[in-house]
Chain A
Amino acid sequence: MSWFVGVDVGGTFTDFFAFEESTGESFVHKTPSTPDAPAEAIASGLQAVCRARGIPLDQVARLAHGTTVATNALLQRRGGTVALITTEGFRDLLEIGRQTRPHMYSLQEDHPAPVVPRERRFEVAERVLADGSVLKPLAPEAILAAVEQVRASGADACAICLLFGFLNPAHERALAEALRAAIPDLYVSLSSEVQPEFREYERLSTTVLNAYLQSVMDRYLGELGARFEEIVPGLQIGINQSSGGLMSIGRARRFPVRTALSGPAAGAVGAIHVARLARRPRVITLDMGGTSADVALIQDYRASTGFDRAVGGFPVRLPMLDINTVGAGGGSIAWFDRDGGLKVGPISAGAKPGPACYGAGGTEPTVTDANLLLGRLSPRGLLGGRMGLDREKARQAFAPLAERLGFPVERAALGVLAIVASNMVRAIRAVSVERGHDPRRFSLMPFGGAGPLHATDVARALGIREIVLPPAPGILCAQGLVVSDLKEDFVRTGRMPVETLHLDAMHGKLGELLADAEQWFIAEGIAHDDRSVELTLDMRYVGQNFELPVKLAGTDLGALDELKRLFFAVHEMSYGYSNPNDPVEVVNFRLTTKGRLPRPSEAPVATTSTGSPAAIEVRPVWFATDAPVDTPVYDRDRLRAGLVLQGPAVIEQLDATTLLYPGDRLTVDPSLNLLIELAP
């Protein structure tokens, strides 16, 4: 027996998903998170789970872990003490950034102060040019002086980011070597290692954040590794990255910034797994929780990747799953703006006091209160009744709002839900139509605690015809971890025209990347059959500044005309036009490598049975403003594969409630996904 375990540590709950390779057996488990001692909580959580299930610890072969330690350290500004070394003349760049204000019209709002204050930013006399040649060599005395400045600053980590260091990293490496020799316990982050591509400010910011997180993550992952070495010697541990793949603990300690957005990424990977089971290659995900909703687009079972995100107000340039977040959740509060317009979110009642109906002191009308008032959530409460909901309190919270609108409470509640849906629609448009994808060609996959309640409203507004609901929407992130592969992203910047003349140079860059990949495969011990690589070129028309990723079928550049044709097609899709006669250039070469890990089978697991389950109850549910509809309520655990239900219906399970509108049709597929077909 050999168990794979996914552990997703969220703000409120720690979710476990465990899977056994030979039998296909799996189970889920949820425990409260302990933010103060996350490593210990995971270890003791795993011990408890295994004890309860009668699994000997030595049968746990692999643990995949999604962590918010880095994210929280960034948001709470609890990273290390960082020094920075830059090219002479550029120490203020970290502070200037792109010289913009975060809010065009605000006289008061600024971008956050950099995590390295000016007195710990040091300059070295050196200069590399745009072709990688050295204009001014880095003198040994300059290295010594910089080392002394860093030492005197008392920093525990040092970021090094020199102009064009991504083309010629010699100076960065010389500084790093000297620093490591002179200050052995100093963490060092090089821009040429963290993200070796052009545009100095984004590379600098990413490198600085990496250094800022190194001490925190090194401590955490060190503890985690040691603790597991005690209880399960030899356990393989994978840490989830923002790009939606795992890395070893060793790499995570070197590149902690790659975990800054790892939480939502696991959800998208889990969604891809479910999409495969349901045989739906095109899916838009909607992960809606208490305060926010994450949306992502999946095409051909792959999530699209983006590169520029801000975390805690700081730009990060790294491959990350292209996930858009909007302040729309169950706790989102409805309020009137100064002009009398009705808004929902981003302000949230959070977990405490929570929505008014939690009875924990909340008085503002929230999305959850609206769902309760409309009969969509069970008056018996959440978590199978373990958490009671107070309908009267929800009504009280909504009364002033309804009165101001001049509507009955139910109509006001429906309005609030329509607005929160429109906010999510806007977020989905940003990852679909704004990237050239027509959402009507996709299925919507809601998950998270609140997703299944709102999916139909969102789908209809986007013209989406089908909803796919995973069997356990609340733990999809933990499930995603178990089906993740080991992953690494390599990049080389090399700006060159797509012309025969430059073919050798292009092959040169490609050769370097393939060599990097080979090294990584060996270092991570990945067998030949489990290896895969994927080549993407960032291309643009000569004169443009934004590159478009052009994915190649293999790792062969092929004919240049064909390469251009691929670019024209991507340009056409993204911007609606292309000019086949204009010159094209490559800017970055990217290679993504994957090491396939064993994972749960993608074959259907459920046995089919016929016959309708009995409804638990029938309750009035508001679908439209005129009157409620008597609606049967079903227990999801009793819905077998092959079952067909005609709406209206409510389907309840431990951590989610699904709404089936009148006229819509629900089918349970062989993997126990619910497929909802929306009536035209």
Chain B
Amino acid sequence: MTTVDPITLEIVHNGLRSITDEAFIALMKSAYSTNIKERRDHSVTICDLAGRLIAQAENSLPIHLASMLGLMEKVLEKVPLADMREGDIFVANDPHVAGGTHLPDVNMAMPVFVGGRLLAFVCNIAHHADIGGMVPGSMAGGTEIYQEGLRIPVIRLFRAGVLQDDILDLLLLNVRVPMERRGDYFAQVAACRLGERRLVELAETWSPATLDAVFDEVVARTERRMRDAIGRIAPGIYTFADVMDDDGFGAHDIPIRCRIEIDGGRFHIDFTGSGAQVAGNINLKLSGTVAAVAYALKALLDPDVPNNHGVLQAIEVAVPEGTILNARFPAAVAARANTCQRVIDVVLGALAPALPDRAVGAANGANTTAVFSGTNPATGADYLYLETLGGGFGGRATKDGKDGVQVHITNTSNLPVEAIEMEYPLLVESYGLVEDSGGAGQHRGGLGLRRVVRPLGHTAVFSGQGERFAHRPWGIFGGEPGACGRFLLRKADGTTSPLPPKPSSMPVTSDQALVVETPGAGGYGEPSRRLASDVEGDRRQGKFSAAYLEQNYRR
């Protein structure tokens, strides 16, 4: 077998990352879904013939790691390598049979041939604005996977370079605003082909054998690097427990528990004791739980470690089947990101005593989602606007938590207010920080966000997904918890009434407004240790009321 020296390795690895970054940008800029074009809810990777993840675009979302692995596993299970042809493109999205994590994430994989020999796969994932199902946006409401949208098993959208029109017709008939979704499919196809072309060029420069060797080396080195970092944590058993608020269908306070065993370079995490899978759509498939654990470890130990299969090989994850973290068919999964956030919270919480200078208070712990849809009174066209909002980030060993930011598993941009109002018949009345929502501490937790949206000249339909609306994000080492989030309906007379944390298809009239408030975050360290100058800053900036400062800091 060919071996590579560190110099060749670095240069070829550079080349692989260039390819994924280039395809990532091309996909973002040519797609139609707001989720992709403005919020970067997409990923690009290169996988080897064993389905191992070799390189991922720099800005890819951590959760997509899971879908990518799941997809490759199912592709390889279903289609022998010998049956793959140049120009084939596989498409899939189903979490139960095709390795996905929720239906709106449409996954593609394209085999790459060099000189007639299969070398690798280029893959991408993109979150489509709609994939059909009972609710516009396909993100709310279901109790089983069938209600959540169109299920796509592993199928070929292209066979040997030829578009399977019949299949595309079927895919598009089942989604809202099909012309835009067609644009998304083509953006993904273009990204596949771009990646293919570049990978062939790289292989022609360096030889396929060198690339094979680089694939092995990249993964092996990353695994070693992760294991070294794990080996520096004091050996022992670390446990933590938290709860999810609810599933929107009657299950409340769903436990998420973990037990971590560190023994030299070995990391074993067991989620036994976590709640049974629920009727609501917050269930995770196992690959999603693994992706969340991988994110948490990487963030704690070594944020710059390359994103590849080596990270996964360094961790062992055990989750009983039938639980919310390893759900069985036909569980509903659309809002699984909230559960990922909680998995990360418990991993960070468990390891906090071992890594006090890197630990953080609980962040807003949610992927607060607001979806507005309706008919634009000016044009008569249907519209769909989906947004996920950040919140507080936890207090840290050396500084306060950041206010109003996306945390952990997600890092998607907001949509500019001017873009929203140019595109949709909606008025954003305000967008700002929620005062007093950060937990007190030596270093306080960050503040949540508040956005107030009013339909213009029509009645809009609102669906939402909230978490940490009942259980506050905890502080650590004596830090106080942050505030909960909430959805409110402001009525014509100016009074507000609370909505459930997972409202589905609520009408909002043009004299009403919908208020979204996201959770803050927990503080770090005893509030009594907060510097007087920091408390003074809190006061001066108006982020905290006099009553709050008096109550928490006695000054």
Question: Cβ of A341 and Cβ of B9 under 8 Å apart?
Answer: yes
Asked if B412 is at the interface of the complex by the 8 Å CB criterion, the answer is: yes
Within 8 A of A (CB), among B351-367: 358, 360
CB proximity of A210 to chain B, nearest CB, Å: 19
Known: A130-B421, A339-B305. A118 touches B299 (CB 8 A): no
A100 within 8 A of B: yes
A106–B193 CA distance with the chains assembled, in angstroms? 32
Residues in chain A near residue B417, CB distance under 8 A? 90, 163, 200
Q: Which of B7, B17, B225, B405 contacts A339 (CB 8 A)?
A: B225
Contacts of A338 in B (CB 8 A): 225, 228-229, 302, 305
Instruction: Report A-chain residues with C-beta under 8 Å of the C-beta of B15.
Output: 422
List of B residues within 8 angstroms of A589 by Cβ: none
Q: Does B186 make an interface contact (CB < 8 A)?
A: yes
> Which single residue of chain A is at the shortest CB-CB distance from B403?
A95
> Contact at A405–B389, with CB atoms within 8 Å?
no
Residue of A nearest to B413 (CB): A98
Instruction: Give residues 151-177 of A contacting B (CB, 8 Å).
Output: 163-164
A92 to B25, CA, bound (A): 29
Chain A residue numbers with a CB within 8 Å of B306 are 339
Q: Mark B522-535, 1 if CB is under 8 A from A, else 0.
A: 00000000000000
Contact with B along A387-425 (1 / 0, CB 8 A): 000000000000000000101000000011011001101
CA distance A91 to B15 in the complex (A): 43
Considering only residues 1-60 of chain B, those with a C-beta below 8 Å from chain A are 5-7, 9-11, 13-15, 17-18, 21-22, 25-26, 28-32, 34, 37-38, 59
Using known A-B contacts A99-B405, A343-B10, A418-B7, determine if residue A107 contacts B396 with beta carbons closer than 8 Å: yes
| Contact indicator A544/B32 (Cβ below 8 Å) | yes
Does B488 have its Cβ within 8 Å of any Cβ on chain A? no
Measured CB to CB, the closest approach of chain B to A137, in angstroms, equals 16
Q: Establish whether residues B305 and A108, one from each chain, have CB atoms under 8 Å apart when the complex forms.
A: no
Chain B residues with Cβ under 8 A from A130's Cβ? 418, 421-422
Question: Which residues on A sit within 8 Å (CB–CB) of B268?
Answer: none
Evaluate contact between B406 and A100: CB separation under 8 angstroms: yes
Does B243 sit within 8 A of A, measured CB to CB? no
* Any A CB within 8 A of the CB of B300: yes
- Give complex CA distance A148, B427 in Å: 29
Q: Does B222 contact A (CB under 8 A)?
A: yes
Residue-wise interface mask of A (317-345) relative to B, using a CB-CB cutoff of 8 A (1 in contact, 0 not): 00000000000000000000011111100
B131-188 interface with A by 8 A CB criterion: 179-180, 183, 186-187
| B452 contacts A by Cβ under 8 Å | yes
Is there contact, CB below 8 Å, between A429 and B18?
Answer: yes
Docked CA distance A342–B399 (Å): 33
Residue contact B30 to A419, C-beta cutoff 8 Å = no
Question: Which chain B residue shows the least CB distance to A576?
Answer: B190
Proximity string of chain A (86-111) to chain B, C-beta cutoff 8 Å, 1 when within and 0 when not: 00111111011011110111111010
Q: A451 to B307, alpha carbons, bound, how many Å?
A: 32
- Please tell me if B328 contacts chain A, counting CB pairs below 8 Å: no
Which residue of B407, B430, B543 contacts A89 across the interface (Cβ within 8 Å)?
Answer: B430
How many A residues touch B, CB cutoff 8 Å?
64
Report which of B25, B31, B62 forms a contact with A104, defined as CB distance below 8 A. B62
A418 smallest CB distance to B (angstroms): 6
Those of A636-663 within 8 Å (CB) of chain B? none
Main secondary structure of the interface of A (DSSP, over half): loop
- A482 to B148 Cα, complex, angstroms: 64
Measured CB to CB, the closest approach of chain A to B470, in angstroms, equals: 23
Is residue B385 contacting chain A, with contact meaning CB distance below 8 A? no
B303 at the interface (CB under 8 A from A): yes
CA distance in complex: A194, B430 (Å): 24
**A 341-357 to B, binary, CB cutoff 8 A, 1 in contact else 0:** 11100000000000000
Contact of A92 among B299, B303, B421, B432 (CB under 8 A): B432
Beta-carbon contact of B18 and A198 below 8 Å: no
Query: Is B433 interfacial (CB 8 A cutoff)?
Result: yes
Contact B14 A426 (CB under 8 A): yes
Chain A residue with Cβ nearest B193: A576
A236 on the B face (CB < 8 A): no
CB atoms of B11 and A199 under 8 A apart? no
**Which of B22, B34, B228 meets A429, CB within 8 Å?**
B22
User: Contact at B390–A99, with CB atoms within 8 Å?
Assistant: yes
| Closest chain B CB from A103 CB (angstroms) | 6
- B540 interfacial contact with A, CB 8 Å: yes
For window 101-132 of chain A, which residues contact chain B by CB distance below 8 Å? 101, 103-108, 110, 117-119, 129-130
Contact between chains at B6 and A577 (CB < 8 Å): no
Question: Is B295 an interface residue when CB atoms closer than 8 A count as contact?
Answer: yes
Whether the pair A89, B179 counts as a contact (CB closer than 8 A) is no
**Distance between Cα atoms of A163 and B9 in the complex (Å):** 50
Chain B residues in 8 Å Cβ range of A104:
59, 61-62, 411
Residue B298 is within 8 A (CB to CB) of chain A in the complex: yes
B299 touches A107 (CB 8 A): yes
Could you tell me if B413 and A91 are in contact, using CB atoms closer than 8 angstroms? Answer: no
Option from A163, A339, A426, A541 in Cβ contact (under 8 Å) with B224? A339
Residue B419 CB within 8 A of the other chain = yes
Interface string of B384-412 (1 = CB under 8 A from A): 00000110010010110011111100011
CB contacts (< 8 Å) of B222 on chain A: these are 339
Report B181 CB to chain A, min CB distance, Å: 10
Asked if B541 and A119 sit within 8 Å, CB to CB, the answer is: yes
Residues on the A chain within 8 Å of B32, using CB:
541, 543-544
B194 at the interface (CB under 8 A from A): yes
Confirm or deny: B505 has a beta carbon within 8 angstroms of a beta carbon on chain A: no
Q: Is A495 among interface residues, defined by CB-CB distance under 8 A?
A: yes
CB-CB under 8 A from A341, the residues of chain B are 6, 9-10, 13, 221
Chain B, Cβ-Cβ closest to A118? B541
Task: List residues of chain A with CB within 8 A of the CB of B422.
Answer: 130, 198, 495
The verdict on B116 contacting chain A, using a C-beta distance below 8 Å, is no
Q: Do A545 and B34 touch (CB < 8 A)?
A: yes
Produce 1/0 per residue, B199-234, CB < 8 A to A. Answer: 000000000000000000000011011001100000
A422-B541 contact, Cβ under 8 Å, with A105-B303, A107-B396, A338-B225: no
CA of A342 to CA of B13 in the docked complex: distance in angstroms? 11
Q: Which residues of A contact B430 (CB under 8 A)?
A: 88-90
Q: Contacts A101-B411, A339-B225, A434-B25 given; indicate if A423 touches B14 (C-beta within 8 A).
A: yes
Asked whether A16 is an interface residue with its Cβ less than 8 Å from the other chain, the reply is no
Does residue A201 face the partner (Cβ distance < 8 Å to B)?
A: yes
A304 interface residue per 8 A CB criterion? no
Within 8 A of B (CB), among A36-90: 88-90
B449 contacts A by Cβ under 8 Å = yes
Q: Is the beta-carbon distance between B10 and A163 smaller than 8 angstroms?
A: no
The answer to whether B6 touches A575 (Cβ under 8 A) is no
Residues of the A chain whose Cβ atoms lie less than 8 Å from the Cβ of B321: none
* Cβ-defined contact, B30 with A577, below 8 A: yes
Checking A135, A199, A418, A429 against B416 with a beta-carbon cut-off of 8 angstroms, the contacting residue is A199
Q: Which residues of A contact B406 (CB under 8 A)?
A: 99-101
Known contacts A95-B403, A338-B302, A405-B6, A577 near B186 by CB under 8 Å: yes
Q: Does B249 contact A (CB under 8 A)?
A: no
Q: How far is the CA of A544 from the CA of B190 in the complex (A)?
A: 16
Q: Does A606 sit within 8 A of B, measured CB to CB?
A: no
B414 at the interface (CB under 8 A from A): yes
Which residue from A164, A340, A495, A546 sits with its C-beta under 8 Å from B29? A546
Q: Find out whether the CB atom of A543 lies under 8 angstroms from the CB atom of B421.
A: no
Complex contacts, B303 vs chain A, CB 8 Å: 103, 105-107
Min C-beta distance of B266 to chain A, whole Å:
18
| Cβ contacts under 8 Å, B540 to chain A | 117, 119
Whole-angstrom distance between the Cβ of B432 and the nearest chain A Cβ:
4
When C-beta atoms are compared, the residue in chain B nearest to A575 turns out to be B30
Given contacts A98-B414, A339-B221, could you give 10 more A-B pairs where the C-beta distance is less than 8 Å? Answer: A89-B432, A99-B404, A100-B413, A105-B62, A118-B541, A130-B422, A434-B25, A543-B179, A574-B30, A582-B179
**Can you name 11 A-B residue pairings with CB atoms under 8 Å?**
A88-B430, A96-B404, A98-B413, A99-B414, A110-B402, A338-B228, A405-B7, A429-B22, A433-B198, A434-B25, A575-B190
Q: Which 7 A-B pairs have the closest CB atoms?
A: A89-B430, A415-B7, A339-B225, A92-B432, A105-B303, A575-B30, A545-B37
